[in-house]
Structure 1
Amino acid sequence: MYDEFCMNFKQYLRHHSSNLCKNKELLEILGPFYGLSNFDTYENWKLRSDIRYYETSNLVHHLSTNIDQYPAFEMFYQELCDQGYDAHKSEEFLSDIIVDQLKLINLLLGPATAEHQKIGS
């Protein structure tokens, strides 16, 4: 599941690269995905107490609390924990962004698990 997420995230970036620098909301949504798709990046953020570490850890927490709505999150969350990702809840991040991040993660986990929901709706 993790490998599929990483592969699909890279494809998503290639497809949307021209929109990234023009769309601030998309940049906010994708920020923690760079850490989710690369553990070394995540660890670097953690060692520097970078806000992106806390945002990514908050997103991992929300994966665990949304398994009922998105069943694919259970396996993905477990794989993240097995790799050493932390799950820490934080109130500092906007719930609307988190909802969109969760929808996009669900989409990136693969067509069999995606509930083709429009991001930003």
Structure 2
Amino acid sequence: MKKLYILIILLSVSTLFACKPKTNAADEVKSIRFKFTELGRETQFRITCDKFDYYFPEGKVKNFTQKAGIDSVMQLLTDMKRADEGYQPDVRGKIYINHPNNTVDTLCVGVKVLTYKSATYETPQALLALIQK
């Protein structure tokens, strides 16, 4: 009877560990880096993501390495609303999301819309405020 109880306890514990959700290393974030210029700055033409560093080589930089800061930025990005098709940002900043496996996600940020993982979203005003803080 004692062996049966031990077996039941071991099965229960192993079931709990098997059901624990596994975190994907690509979803974890090691740090976030903002590179930006004045978000209200206007130019005569739209700046594309690939030309941002060319036109604004002296951009300001802001880094988030603490978990609380990273979590607040990721929460803002998780709650974004999709923008209508056809909109492309007039890029005034880039956000680099660095993962522990050395992959980097890049967001191209405009005042009205931003691109993230090949999709266009409305730029959260709270994100712009956080960048300029």
Q: Which has the higher strand share?
A: 2
TM-score by length of structure 1 reads 0.25
TM-score by length of structure 2 reads 0.23
Q: Which has the higher helix share?
A: 1
Give the number of the structure whose alpha-carbon radius of gyration is greater.
Answer: 2
